Amino acid sequence: MAARRISSLLSRSLSVSSAFSLSLGKNFNRGKSIHRFSTAAAAAVEELITPTVQINYTQLLINGQFVDAASGKTFPTFDPRTGEVIANVAEGDAEDINRAVSAARKAFDEGPWPRMSPYERSRILLRFADLAEKHNDELAALETWNNGKPYEQAAKAELPLFVRLFRYYAGWADKIHGLTVQADGPHHVQILHEPIGVAGQIIPWNFPLMMFAWKVGPALACGNTIVLKTAEQTPLTALFAAKLFHEAGLPPGILNIVSGYGPTAGAALASHMDVDKIAFTGSTDTGKIVQELASKSNLKPVTLELGGKSPFIVCEDADIDQAVELAHFALFFNQGQCCCAGSRTFVHESVYDEFIEKAKARALSRTVGDPFKKGIEQGPQIDPEQFAKVLRYIRSGIESNATLECGGGRIGSKGYFVQPTVFSNVQDDMLIAKDEIFGPVQSILKYKDLDEVIRRANSTRYGLAAGVFTKNINTANTLTRALRVGTVWVNCFDVFDAAIPFGGYKMSGVGREKGIYSLNNYLQVKAVITPLKNPAWL
C-alpha cells in the first residue's frame, strides 16, 4: 500500500488520485451480502501490531512550558471503544486563556518569529514535518485511541497528509510577497503583506490532527503567533504535536495550547481583546456564537468552517455498482463524522430501486469494530452524547415513515458503536434529510430530473460540498455550476489535497482553508505611499 494514499478498487476504476482518497472497501465486486459488522466477522479480523504510545503530555502548553491549569482542575478524556478514561487533562478556562494570549502577544510584539527570515521559518516547519513523519505511528495510534477512527485510516492516509500540509506551508513561508502599484500621480506605492498578529484557533474532535494542520500551518507560515483550543473530546494529539514543534526549534510563546470546554476556554478566546483573529471549525450553531463574541469584543476577523448536509447526486446514466460504493464512502467515511459527508443521497427514479438494494447490501457488509484491527472500516462514535444523538435521528427517521432498510441500533454493549444504517423513501421535510446527523446514517431520496434535483439540493441552509456521479459531461457541468456549495466532487468524493481550498457557502462558513486562499486569513494588507521627486522618470 502506498505511503501517501490508500487506493481502493473504486478509486482506481474512477482514476481518482488524491493524498486523502481513502480505502472504499476490499469487496467491491462481491456478489453477496454478508453481515460483517456481526460478532463472528469482527472476531475474524486480524489484530494490527500497533506501537506502544504513552500519554506524556496532558498539561497546557503556555510560553513553551507544559503547566497545570490555574485552577488546578483536570477533566477526563475517554477511549470511545470502551468509554474508559485514557487520561486526565488540564482544564483551561478564562484565566489560562489570558496567560496564553499574554504569552502569544509578547512573542508577536517582541519575539523573533515575526522578525525571523521567512526562510528560517520555513526550515522550522520542515523540521517539524520530518519529526511528525518519524512519529507517524505514535501520532496515529494516539489519534485512534482518543478519537476512535480506524488506525489504518489515521496511519496511512491522515498522517501522511498532515505531514504534506506542513511541508506545503513551509514552501509558502518565503514566497509571501508584496506588490508595487502604478499610481496615477507621482508616487511610489508598495503593498505589504504582514502577519495579522495573535491568532485564536478552535479545532473540532472529528479530525483533530488534520484541523491542527489546516489552522496552524498557514498561521505560522505567515509569521503569526497562536493560541489554540483543542476539542475537549480529543486533546491528546495536539499536545504531542506541539511538543514536536518545540523540538523542531519553534521559539517559546509562538504556539500555545489550551485544552478546555467551549463555554469557558472557547468563549474567553473568541472574545479576548488581545486576539487579532479567530479561526473556528465546528457546528453552525456554535460558529454563530463564536462570530458574535468576536464582533462584540474588538471586531476581529473570523473564519468559520461549519456544518453541512451535502447532496450526493446519482444520475440515470451512472454505473450503479460504482455509484453505490462511492455514495457509501461519501456518507460512512470516518463513522459519518465528517462535515462534508454526502448525507443526502439523491438517486434518479429510473435506477432508484436497484440502487437501494445494492446500498443496503453494501452497508450490511461494512466492517465495524475495534479500530486497531486490520480491515475495520468503521470504529465507534466519539462519545455518548454523539452516540445518543445518532440513535435519536434514527428513531426520528422511523417515526417519520422513512423505510429502514438496515441497521438502526447499537453494536455490542460497550463503547459507542452504531450499525451502518440506510433509509429509503426519505422526504425532504424529514429531520434525517434536513439536519446534520454526523453519524453512519444514509438517507436516500428519489428525483425525476435535473431541474428538480438542483432545486432540492440547494434547498438547505448549508452549502459545504456536493457529489455528482454521471458519465455525461454536460450533466456534470450543469450541476457543478448550479449547486451552491464550496466544493463539488465529480465521480469522486472526499478528495483532499494541500493545495485545494475548502470552505462553504451560506451557513456552512466564511472563508477558505488550505491552499493559497488560507494565507489570506492570516495576513494584513498595508499600503505605503511615498512621493517621487522627479516624476519625469515615471
Mean per-residue pLDDT, 110-126 = 97
What is the reported pLDDT for 106?
A: 98
CA pair distance 45, 357, nearest whole angstrom: 26
What do you get for the CA distance between the two ends of the chain, in Å?
60
Q: How far apart are CA 275 and CA 265, in angstroms?
A: 13
pLDDT attached to residue 312: 98
Cα–Cα distance, 147 to 205 (Å, whole number): 7
Query: What Cα–Cα distance (Å) separates residue 264 from each residue in 174, 200, 229, 296?
Result: 37, 14, 11, 17
Residue with cell 478509486: 11
What is the structure's pLDDT at 4? 29
Report pTM. Answer: 0.91
Q: Position of cell 487520561?
A: 87
CB count, 10 Å around CB of 43? 9
Interval 422-436 mean pLDDT: 98
Query: Mean per-residue pLDDT for 85-102?
Result: 98
Does position 6 have pLDDT exceeding 70, yes or no? no
Instruction: Answer yes or no: is pLDDT of 238 > 50.
Output: yes
Q: Which residues are catalytic?
A: 305
Backbone angles phi, psi at 293, to 5 degrees: -65, -40
**Whether the predicted pLDDT of 18 surpasses 50:** no
- Say which DSSP state 155 is in: I
Give me the pLDDT at residue 54, please: 87
Whether residue 1 is predicted with pLDDT greater than 90 in this model: the reply is no
Q: Are 62 and 226 in contact (CB under 8 A)?
A: no
d(CA 428, CA 435): 11
What are the DSSP calls for 252-291, one per residue?
TTSEEEEEB-IIIIIHHHHT-TT--EEEEES-HHHHHHHH
Average pLDDT of the segment spanning 496-500: 97
Q: Which three cell numbers stand for residue 16?
A: 481518482
Q: What is the mean pLDDT of the chain?
A: 91
| Mean pLDDT score, 286-307 | 96
Contact 337, 440 (CB under 8 A): no
Report the b/e string of 253-281 with b at 16+ CB within 10 A.
bbbbbbbbebebbbbbbbbbebbbbbbbb
- Residue matched to cell numbers 449547486: 483
| Per-residue confidence (pLDDT) for residue 534, from 0 to 100 | 76
308 or 31: whose pLDDT is higher?
A: 308
Given a contact cutoff of 8 angstroms between Cβ atoms, the answer to whether 504 and 486 are in contact is yes
Closest by CA position to 446, among listed 373, 307, 349? 349
Per residue in 459-475, pLDDT (tens digit) is 999 999 999 999 999 99
pLDDT of residue 30: 28
Phi, psi of 336 (to 5 degrees): 75, 5
Q: What is the pLDDT of residues 304-336, one digit of tens each?
A: 999 999 999 999 999 999 999 999 999 999 999
Exposure string of 306-345, with b = 16+ CB inside 10 Å and e = fewer, is bbbbbbbbbbbebbbbbbbbbbbbbbbbbbbbbbbbbbbb
pLDDT band at 46 (very low <50, low <70, confident <90, very high): low
Q: 191 with 180: CB under 8 angstroms?
A: yes
Q: What is the percent of the chain with per-residue pLDDT over 70, rounded to a whole number? A: 90
Domains annotated on the chain, with CATH: 9-32+308-490 (3.40.309.10), 60-306+504-527 (3.40.605.10)
SS3 of residue 315 by DSSP: coil
pLDDT digits (tens, 9 = 90+) for 192-237: 999 999 999 999 999 999 999 999 999 999 999 999 999 999 999 9
